[in-house]
């Protein structure tokens, strides 16, 4: 795996936001957060979903962003000021497995691309969430769940998906029930009610403007980090030829490019 560089990762979050924001706003809308409610964005990163969450709960509502990494929280703080959300949003450093909150502190918990993506300790984590949720409160877990981003190269895309990097954080040795698509079962086991899973898709069809092109290229880069090392030499060269920003055959510059990806919203209600 390539070394983790938080600054480079933040840049990718911003570059991909023109594609991510409209989709994730639709997910927030579907979540139906009560006006005036108090919620937690668990693993908020630089806070890109906080404006949508704050808008949904209205001026009387409160959103707390929590992340384990101080450098992301500092950036989130600058964003919150820039967006003028100061009094309605607070930020705190914390670990989702041991969050610094009292029992029943929130009406809902939102976690995008963080909680339950890795299913190492699903029950422990879901029990923690139940503890800090009000009875009747909603748990909303959002995870990237599928994509077709390399039109015309289904074999290459399937090979990339079958690499360890393409499957991570799941591994071929993990029991099947530890894959995030099995989250509904774990939510039920943890005692959540009205468990449901709903996919949301984002299509990307040429022609598109520069920010969408750059967002698409960034999503392709983020999807299979380091996977090319697991490919055959021929596949590696092909992958580079269609994804290298300097290549004349760059796939995102095809005049007839079409691709899509999905996130799934997993949800459950804490019993009253
Ligand atoms: C892929 S980013 C997603 C950020 C944000 N939710 C978004 O969608 O833009 C995952 C975030 O989860 C945070 N994270 C990872 N493990 C965590 C943990 N145990 N507790 C709290 N935050 C964590 C990371 O620092 C990172 O900011």
For 183-230, the pLDDT digits (tens) are 999 999 999 999 999 999 999 999 999 999 999 999 999 999 999 999
Q: Does pTM top 0.85 for this prediction? A: yes
1 belongs to a structural domain: no
CATH number at residue 204: 3.40.50.150
Note the Cα 143 to chain centre separation in Å.
5
Tens of pLDDT, residues 34-57: 999 999 999 999 999 999 999 999
Question: In this predicted structure, what is the pLDDT of residue 6?
Answer: 86
Question: In this predicted structure, what is the pLDDT of residue 1?
Answer: 40
Mutate to test the pocket of ligand 1, among 27, 52, 113, 114 (most ligand atoms within 8 A of CB): 114
Which two tokens mark 268?
Answer: 């459950």
**Residues of the chain with confidence (pLDDT) below 50:** 1-2
Q: Which SS3 state, helix, strand or coil, does residue 64 take?
A: strand
Determine which residue's CA is closest to atom 18 belonging to ligand 1: 95
- The answer to whether 83 touches 53, Cβ cutoff 8 Å, is no
Query: Where would I find the beta strands (DSSP E) of 62-132?
Result: 62-67, 89-93, 106-112
Q: Give me ligand 1 centre to Cα 45, in Å.
A: 5
Q: Give me ligand 1 centre to Cα 248, in Å.
A: 35
101 belongs to a structural domain: yes
Note the Cα 3 to chain centre separation in Å.
20
Determine which residue's CA is closest to atom 8 belonging to ligand 1: 112
Ligand 1 pocket residue status of 114, Cβ below 6 Å: yes
Q: Give me ligand 1 centre to Cα 240, in Å.
A: 29
Say which residues have a Cβ less than 8 Å from residue 265's Cβ, sequence separation at least 6.
27, 30, 31, 140, 141, 142, 197, 198, 199, 200
Pairing between β-strand 193-205 and β-strand 258-269 as defined by DSSP bridges: antiparallel
Question: How many domains does the structure of the chain reveal?
Answer: 1
Question: In this predicted structure, what is the pLDDT of residue 156?
Answer: 98
Q: Give me ligand 1 centre to Cα 10, in Å.
A: 11
Residue 20 sits in which domain range? 6-269
């Amino acid at each position: 795996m390539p070394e983790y560089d938080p600054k480079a990762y933040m840049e990718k979050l911003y570059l991909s936001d023109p594609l991510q924001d409209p989709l994730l706003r639709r997910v927030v809308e579907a979540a139906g957060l009560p006006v005036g409610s108090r919620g937690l964005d668990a693993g908020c990163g630089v806070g890109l979903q906080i404006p949508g969450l704050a808008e949904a709960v209205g001026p009387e509502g409160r959103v707390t962003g929590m992340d384990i990494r101080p450098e992301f929280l500092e950036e989130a703080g600058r964003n919150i000021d820039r967006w003028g959300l100061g009094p309605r949003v607070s930020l705190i450093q914390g670990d989702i497995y041991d969050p610094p909150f009292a029992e029943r502190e929130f009406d809902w918990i939102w976690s995008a691309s963080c909680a339950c993506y890795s299913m190492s300790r699903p029950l422990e984590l879901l029990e923690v969430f139940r503890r800090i949720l009000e009875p009747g409160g909603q748990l909303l877990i959002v995870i990237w769940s599928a994509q077709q981003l390399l039109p015309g190269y289904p074999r290459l895309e399937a090979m990339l998906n079958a690499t360890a990097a393409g499957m991570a954080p799941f591994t071929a040795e993990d029991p099947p029930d530890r894959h995030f698509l099995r989250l509904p079962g774990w939510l039920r086991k943890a005692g959540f009610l009205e468990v449901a899973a709903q996919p949301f898709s984002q299509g990307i069809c040429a022609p598109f403007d520069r920010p969408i092109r750059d967002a698409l290229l960034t999503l392709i880069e983020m999807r299979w980090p380091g996977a090319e090392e697991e490919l055959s030499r021929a596949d590696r060269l092909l992958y580079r030829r269609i994804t290298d920003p300097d290549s004349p055959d760059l796939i995102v510059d095809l005049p007839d490019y079409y691709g899509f990806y999905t996130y799934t919203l997993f949800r459950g209600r804490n019993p009253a």
